Structure 1
């Protein structure tokens, strides 16, 4: 897979440096009143699907899966000669058209594209009231899960080499530390290990942070909504802890895992 799906570690590192040094988009647009964008970001396989599906049990929350429209909006903004207010307004309108399509009851709308992490500054320029949930998981467990997964999306061509996976994890963590320092009030980090150990408590805290209205608990739907990502099988099951520390059972066969950070 690696030989037939080449991925450039150098270009990835350049993209992270570019995002770290990117200038501000200027004053943010005014918050909208009728919906709240929620972006669940992080390294893929860090629990984004699990968290989105759990949040979507709330009657005022809808998950749209992994939308690609923020990346399109970011490209349009980048191509503009100058980032004027009208450019940002057009980008916000483009994204909202697709994110809210056919959805009239939910106020909180989730986009769980993990690598929207690259565009947190744009998100909070378009919607200063948006909420960013950052999923973080043990680096070695994340790397193992990525390496064992067959992806159809070429954006994940790094997943067939542990050095490439390590570069992605390192870059995401650097960039997320940068965003958290700049936009700390809009970002909440959820640690996978803590969430699976006490999901009800962690979810209650997250619900309070999102300011979701209190409602009676809603059980999982007997007929789950479609999940088109690589996490579909795991998300169908009850929350479990057996994936915590899973890398240790493979370390003798995949010594590359020990070259990654322990956490």
Structure 2
């Protein structure tokens, strides 16, 4: 056979998707035409299509050794390296490819992917924009561009990019989910739900499409619909362990009996990954706690937290360094703040996770002139600022304020204030006051033992609260919180309202009147009935906040005093005098 017929035959097989046959043909071509680079390149492409990228790499390299100017082989090699998470090597290879052919959209797109994987978000966006310029209707590029905008914090711009992209690719499942996620963040819940329902219609058997829809229904308080969807998910995928845990949190005792048996059987699988064991242990713990079997529940909580702690250990040294850096840079008493702050004003509800921040946001959100916006993302920007010791002067403060204003969702014209209830903002009260001179701060102060217990019983799947799975780590983080709050009260007297959670749930009227006064609001009776006004809730409190305010969780730690002893022993008595 001639070179031409061998090459044509191999290409035809590959184009038909017959990758095993094409690979065999390419290998035969390599033996017959040892110096022709096309055959190892095609063989590598076939291996990549069969998800054997590691085997493909030396074949791409062989093609390049035969022809150092073989652009497609170089581009393909770079793409394979990205898939193998060899991102730095991939960037080197792809950068050389685009020097030879700067109009290769695939190469630019994969440079963007590699940079995103390395956390180099701004350069990822620049590469994605270059790819979009070359291939403006490529669905992967459109989604990547929107995703890159989100990663650098330009939420409104990312949402606009998603909406534009959906006009070109209205049935792209990944694009639908990204758009829905951004809409949900912007509290545009009905549109987000509509897009997720559309995605579920397009992919009714896709677990990764159905799971976000179930979560969305839960955040909107539609438990019956969410349960039906979760049960359907388990039929499609009996190993959807995260769905099991989700169900255990809102099903009745009777409904959870069968789920408990399912979870126990699943644990018999000796090859379970640690993350899946954690889901099952948390499921069993939630169910046994609901049934009143405290001893069994605690046993499962210990196992669950141990599994997560091994996978996502708490970096105490890093947290301490960030903490010290913030305090050292905001040590003076004169924090003037932005003298020309934009409207509406921000109200920051801070504290520790599970201290009552969601309940407080809901009381404020019940006011007709206040928009509850959930947990905004400024803390991520501020963390990198102080973790990397970057400047945060007047220019940076102005940019932060502009970014926040840019990312606000459409609000009614009579909106006086919006609420950001990110608990971690307690670290950044000084910087936030510098950027937003009209900001108000409410600090939820709750018995640390009750907070620790609630965190110990929670599975924060985002991985952002890594300390909550180890009792001594929880104490370390709580001590940092108490110390920095004492610092802010010292350098910013009168700026922060400390609201004891116990007061809030025992006398909601008086407490919400104090909150309203501190925030410059006229109190309304609706603020004392937050359960009637709970909209979308995307935190661990999504089930509790829809109930009338109660005191059931106050002093709950007493039932678990022995288990919490290692935590209490690590608390600084000078910062937590109430525990002694």
What's the TM-score once normalised by structure 1's chain length?
Answer: 0.90
In the TM superposition, what whole-angstrom CA distance separates every residue of 1:28-53 from its partner, at most 9, and x where no partner exists? 32233631110001111110001100
CA separation in 1, counterparts of 2:343 and 2:540? 32
Shift of 1:202: 0.8
Question: What residue number does 1:103 align with?
Answer: 411
Aligned pair partner of 1:236 in 546, 569, 577: 546
Change (3 A) 1:78 1:6: closer
Shift of 1:213: 2.7
Question: What residue number does 1:190 align with?
Answer: 499
Question: What residue number does 1:11 align with?
Answer: 318
Shift of 1:71: 2.8
Change (3 A) 1:19 1:217: same
Aligned-residue CA RMSD (Å): 2.5
CA separation in 2, counterparts of 1:117 and 1:108? 19
CA separation in 1, counterparts of 2:375 and 2:475? 23
Structure 2 unpaired stretches of 5+:
1-307
Question: What residue number does 1:225 align with?
Answer: 535
CA separation in 2, counterparts of 1:185 and 1:223? 30
- Say whether 1:20 aligns with 2:352: no
Change (3 A) 1:82 1:119: closer
Change (3 A) 1:78 1:15: closer
Question: What residue number does 2:513 align with?
Answer: 204
> Which is higher, the Rg of structure 1 or of structure 2?
2
In the TM superposition, what whole-angstrom CA distance separates every residue of 1:177-199 from its partner, at most 9, and x where no partner exists? 00011112221000011111111
CA separation in 1, counterparts of 2:368 and 2:492? 28
Change (3 A) 1:216 1:75: same
CA separation in 2, counterparts of 1:27 and 1:188? 18
Question: What residue number does 2:565 align with?
Answer: 255
Secondary structure at the aligned position of 2:547 is classed as coil
Shift of 1:76: 5.9
Change (3 A) 1:213 1:102: same
Question: What residue number does 2:556 align with?
Answer: 246
Question: What residue number does 1:159 align with?
Answer: 468
Shift of 1:201: 0.8
How do 1:32-71 residues align onto structure 2 when only pairs under 5 Å count? 32=341, 34-71=343-380
CA separation in 2, counterparts of 1:39 and 1:146? 21
In the TM superposition, what whole-angstrom CA distance separates every residue of 1:205-235 from its partner, at most 9, and x where no partner exists? 2112212135464655757411001111111
CA separation in 2, counterparts of 1:133 and 1:224? 19
Secondary structure at the aligned position of 1:229 is classed as coil
Secondary structure at the aligned position of 1:135 is classed as strand
Question: What residue number does 1:172 align with?
Answer: 481
Question: What residue number does 2:191 align with?
Answer: none
Secondary structure at the aligned position of 1:110 is classed as strand
Q: Is contact 1:77-1:87 (8 Å) kept?
A: no
Change (3 A) 1:235 1:182: same
Structure 1 unpaired stretches of 5+:
none
Change (3 A) 1:163 1:253: closer
Change (3 A) 1:75 1:103: farther
Deviates more, 1:215-224 or 1:237-246: 215-224
Greater share of strand residues, 1 or 2? 1
CA separation in 2, counterparts of 1:197 and 1:44? 20
Greater share of helix residues, 1 or 2? 2
Shift of 1:257: 4.6
Deviates more, 1:20-29 or 1:245-254: 20-29
What's the TM-score once normalised by structure 2's chain length?
Answer: 0.42
CA separation in 1, counterparts of 2:390 and 2:557? 47
Secondary structure at the aligned position of 2:310 is classed as coil
Aligned pair partner of 2:425 in 107, 116, 128: 116
CA separation in 2, counterparts of 1:40 and 1:170? 19
Shift of 1:251: 1.9
CA separation in 1, counterparts of 2:423 and 2:440? 14
CA separation in 1, counterparts of 2:533 and 2:417? 22
Secondary structure at the aligned position of 1:181 is classed as helix
CA separation in 2, counterparts of 1:28 and 1:39? 15
In the TM superposition, what whole-angstrom CA distance separates every residue of 1:94-113 from its partner, at most 9, and x where no partner exists? 01222x22113421100000
